[in-house]
Amino acid sequence: MNAILKYMRPVAVIGIGKTAFGAFPDRDLRSLAVEAIEHALADGNVAPAGVEAFYLGNFAGPSFVGQNHLAPYVGSAAGFESIPCTRIEDACASSGSAFFHAWQNVAAGISDVVVAAGVEKMTSQSTPRVTEILAGAGDMGGEGRAGATFPALFAMIARRHMHQYGTTREQLAAVSVKNHANGAKNPQAHMRKVITLEQALAGKPVAEPLTVYDCSLISDGAAAVVIVPLERAREFTSRFAKVLAVAQTSDHVALDTKADITLFPAVKSAGERAYKMAGLGPKEIDVAELHDCFTIAEIVASEDLGFVEKGNGGPFAAAGCTAIGGPIPINTSGGLKSKGHPVGATGVGQICDIVMQLRGDAGERQVARHHIGLAQNLGGSGATCVVTILEAAK
């Protein structure tokens, strides 16, 4: 891997674009994706005709909206003609993976201007049907046959974390309270609602010990970025972000095949690879967007990425260490819990949020130190992880 990296070009993100995340009954999947792409192209001062390749992250468009062949379906509507358009599916890490493949394309010197996007239109289906579709990212031969959905699987992870490390429901709720507070300041968030610890603890039970306030939202939305070789970034804008590292790794899909369900090996290995590639460690990260599909997932990721020692993620969050003014601000966007989780759009959406922080454009959510940011995108119950590290333009 290191030998290959010697021959790869540095890459920069020059344009970002997102739709609001929410429930949009009058919008279809394609219009959401095109809106995000148009915003990203305008932000990067790039015309559609200048794009040389397009990667689209989408988990379940065929199941949610009945549409296959999504990459050219979206790409042609965005004005991309006679270029490769490729859909990437990696569960909730679909667009993080799309970004990884787009980065590889540019870094390898195959293309100079590439768009990576993600989209999902989820609210066209009922909540039980959405839960059923999402369960397809697990092991359908075992977990699916047993009726286990992702709330149940992450409830098992939470319960085991409580047993091994003494994590409490109050600590889980503290993650939700913090992310709701951040999301309330985000004009593009699905749920802009401040909640108290008491409200979070009294939420409707979903899967013990998780309540509705521990679970991410069913959302529609899209996000997109434009990437180019770093040496060409200033041809387009002075407001770019350098990609220091992108790493994608995988693990077993089924929860019962993991040695310790309180640890996500894919997160740990992707983080270690990304840190090595970037030449830095967790203490040098100024701001992070972590995949909080459930509150326990943020706690586990904060441990696996080295922000806090294993088992101490709960107390770390409850002490305010991951708040905007804390040592390592996590999910200043509101996270999946408040910002929303249109699953195929989440990974690229996180990268957009990090770039906003690095540019100093996050408004009320802006952190004081914003030189280096990290995005972590998870698929399933830890079977796929993409970690991206970005640096502000110098």
The DSSP line for 95-140 is HHHHHHHHHHHHHTTS-SSEEEEEEEE-TTS-HHHHHHHHHTTS-I
Residue type, 35: E
pLDDT for the residue 144: 87
Tell whether the torsion through CA atoms of 363, 369, 371 and 375 is positive or negative. Answer: negative
Q: Rounded to whole angstroms, how far apart are CA atoms 376 and 353?
A: 12
pLDDT for the residue 183: 98
Q: What is the mean pLDDT of residues 339-357?
A: 98
Q: What is the mean pLDDT of residues 362-379?
A: 97
Q: What is the mean pLDDT of residues 6-16?
A: 92
Q: Rounded to whole angstroms, how far apart are CA atoms 17 and 336?
A: 17
> Can you point out the beta strands (E) in 218-298?
220-229, 241-250, 287-289
Q: Rounded to whole angstroms, how far apart are CA atoms 303 and 237?
A: 36
Confidence grade of residue 82 (pLDDT, cut at 50, 70, 90): very high
Crossing angle of helices 169-183 and 295-304, rounded to 10°: 100
User: What is the topology classification, in CATH, of domain 2-124+219-241?
Assistant: Peroxisomal Thiolase; Chain A, domain 1 (3.40.47)
pLDDT for the residue 216: 97
Q: Rounded to whole angstroms, how far apart are CA atoms 253 and 71?
A: 26
Q: Which residue, 169, 212, 208, is CA-closest to 191? A: 212
The structure's pTM equals: 0.97
pLDDT 10s digits, 242-275: 999 999 999 999 999 999 999 999 999 999 999 9
pLDDT for 157 beyond 80:
yes
Q: How far apart are the first and last CA of the chain?
A: 27
Catalytic residue, chosen from 39, 341, 352, 385, is 341
**327 and 308 in contact (C-beta within 8 Å)?**
no
pLDDT for the residue 7: 76
Q: Rounded to whole angstroms, how far apart are CA atoms 226 and 30?
A: 18
Domain 127-218+244-392 falls under CATH 3.40.47.10? yes
Which residues does residue 372 pair with via DSSP β-bridges, in sequence order?
391
Confidence grade of residue 297 (pLDDT, cut at 50, 70, 90): very high
Confidence grade of residue 4 (pLDDT, cut at 50, 70, 90): low
Q: Where are the domains of the chain?
A: 2-124+219-241, 127-218+244-392
- Burial (0-12, 13-18, 19+ Cβ within 10 Å), 219: buried
Cα 58 to Cα 71, 255, 274, 375: the distances in Å are 9, 23, 24, 18
For residue 341, indicate whether it is catalytic: yes
For residue 293, indicate whether it is catalytic: no
Q: Rounded to whole angstroms, how far apart are CA atoms 93 and 257?
A: 20
CATH topology of 2-124+219-241 equal to that of 127-218+244-392?
A: yes
Q: Rounded to whole angstroms, how far apart are CA atoms 381 and 366?
A: 30
Q: What is the mean pLDDT of residues 180-207?
A: 97
pLDDT for 126 beyond 80:
yes
pLDDT for the residue 394: 84
pLDDT for the residue 1: 53
pLDDT for 2 beyond 60:
no
Confidence grade of residue 122 (pLDDT, cut at 50, 70, 90): very high
pLDDT for the residue 128: 94
Q: What is the mean pLDDT of residues 90-95?
A: 98
pLDDT for 5 beyond 80:
no
Q: What is the mean pLDDT of residues 332-356?
A: 98
pLDDT for the residue 375: 98
pLDDT for 239 beyond 90:
yes
CB-based contacts of 389, cutoff 8 Å, min separation 6: 243, 244, 245, 246, 274, 275, 277, 278, 280, 285, 372, 373, 374
